[in-house]
Amino acid sequence: MKRLFRYLFILIVLTGFFKQSVADNTSIDTTNNYEFVKSLKPFLYTRQDSIRPLLDSVIKVLKVKGNSRALGYAYLYLGHLYSPDPSHHNEAFTNYNKSLIVSKALNDNKLYNHVIFGLGVLYANKGNYDSANYYYNKVYRKSLSEHDSTMIPLVLINTAVLQFAKDNYVAAVKMLFEAEPYFIREKNNFRLTLLYDQLASSFQKTKRYKSALKYFRLALRYDSLTNKINYTPLIIANIGQLYFEQNNMDSALFYLTQVSQE
C-alpha cells in the first residue's frame, strides 16, 4: 500500500511538472526522456486515468523538439491506453500512426514492431480478425528475421487468441505451447498467467477437462506472482464453469462461491 501511494505521488508531481513546462514553454533536459517514458509502461495496466494526462503533457513537451524515441513510445503507449475502449478506437489508431511515423523517421525497428503489433491488437479489439491477422503475420515474420525473442511470443499468444475466436482450438494450443518457453525464460509471470488461462480454455473447448484444470491451476499460480491486473476471480470462475460442464455441481458451486469472496 505504501508503494502504491508513493507511485501515485510521483505521478501527480510529474504530471504537474510537465503541464507547467508546457505552460511556460520552457525547455527541459531531454537526455533521459526515453527512459522516463519507458518507466511509465507498468502503469498502463494499473493507473490508466493518471497516465493518460501525463502522456498528453509529455508529448506536448517532446514534439517541440522533433522526432525522438521518447516521443515515439509516448504515442505508442497512448495507443495502448485507447485500444481496449471501442469509443476511443479512432484515438488509438491516430496515436499508433504517429508512433509509426516516428519509428520510420528514426529507422527504429523495435518501435516499428511494437506499433504493428499494437495495430493488430486494435483490429482484434474491433472484431476485424482478418486485419488483425494481417498485422500479426507481418510483425511475426519481421521478428523472426530479427530474432526478436520479446515480440515473437507476444505475436504467438495473440494469434492463438484469434484462432480460438475462430474455433481453431488445435491451432491455438500449438501456438500457445510455442510461446510458453519464451515467457518462462523471461520469468514473465503476467504473460504466463494469460497464456495458461487461454491454454486451459482451449482444452476446455475440446472437452479435455483434465488438461484444462491443470492449466487453469497454473494460471492461478502465476497470477499470484504478478502485481499487475488481478485475474484470480476470472480464473476461479472459469474453473467453476469447467466443473459445471462436467455436471460436478458441488465443485462448481465451491469455486463460483469463491469468486464472490475475492
CATH of the domain at 223: 1.25.40.10
Residue 47 resides in a domain: yes
Q: Which of 116, 148, 180 is the last residue of a domain?
A: 148
Give backbone dihedrals phi and psi of 127, rounded to 5 degrees, phi first. Answer: 85, 10
Q: Can you tell me the mean pLDDT for 105-131?
A: 96
Asked if residue 261 has pLDDT above 80, the reply is no
pLDDT at 262: 60
For residue 208, the enclosing domain spans 172-262
**What is d(CA 51, CA 40) in angstroms, rounded to the nearest whole number?**
8
pLDDT at 24: 40
pLDDT at 22: 38
Q: Residues with Cβ < 8 Å from 109, sequence gap 6 or more?
A: 103, 142, 146
pLDDT at 95: 97
The whole-model pTM stands at 0.80
Q: Can you tell me the mean pLDDT for 99-127?
A: 96
Residue 79 resides in a domain: yes
Share of the chain above pLDDT 90, in %: 71
Residue 2 resides in a domain: no
Residue 112 resides in a domain: yes
Same domain, 138 and 176: no
pLDDT at 239: 96
pLDDT at 229: 77
Residue 48 resides in a domain: yes
Same domain, 50 and 83: yes
pLDDT band at 151 (very low <50, low <70, confident <90, very high): very high
Give per-residue pLDDT as tens, 76-109.
999 999 999 999 999 999 999 999 999 999 999 9
Give per-residue pLDDT as tens, 5-49.
344 334 444 444 344 443 343 344 445 788 889 888 888 877 777
Q: What is the mean pLDDT of the chain?
A: 87
pLDDT at 2: 41
Residue 261: name the closest of 238, 237, 241 by CA: 237
Residue 59 resides in a domain: yes
Give per-residue pLDDT as tens, 188-228.
999 999 999 999 999 999 999 999 999 999 999 999 998 77
Same domain, 214 and 130: no
- Of 54-68, 183-197, 239-253, least confident by mean pLDDT is 54-68
Same domain, 143 and 187: no
In the chain, the amino acid numbered 34 is: Y
Number of structural domains (the chain) is 2
Residue 244 resides in a domain: yes
Residue 13 resides in a domain: no
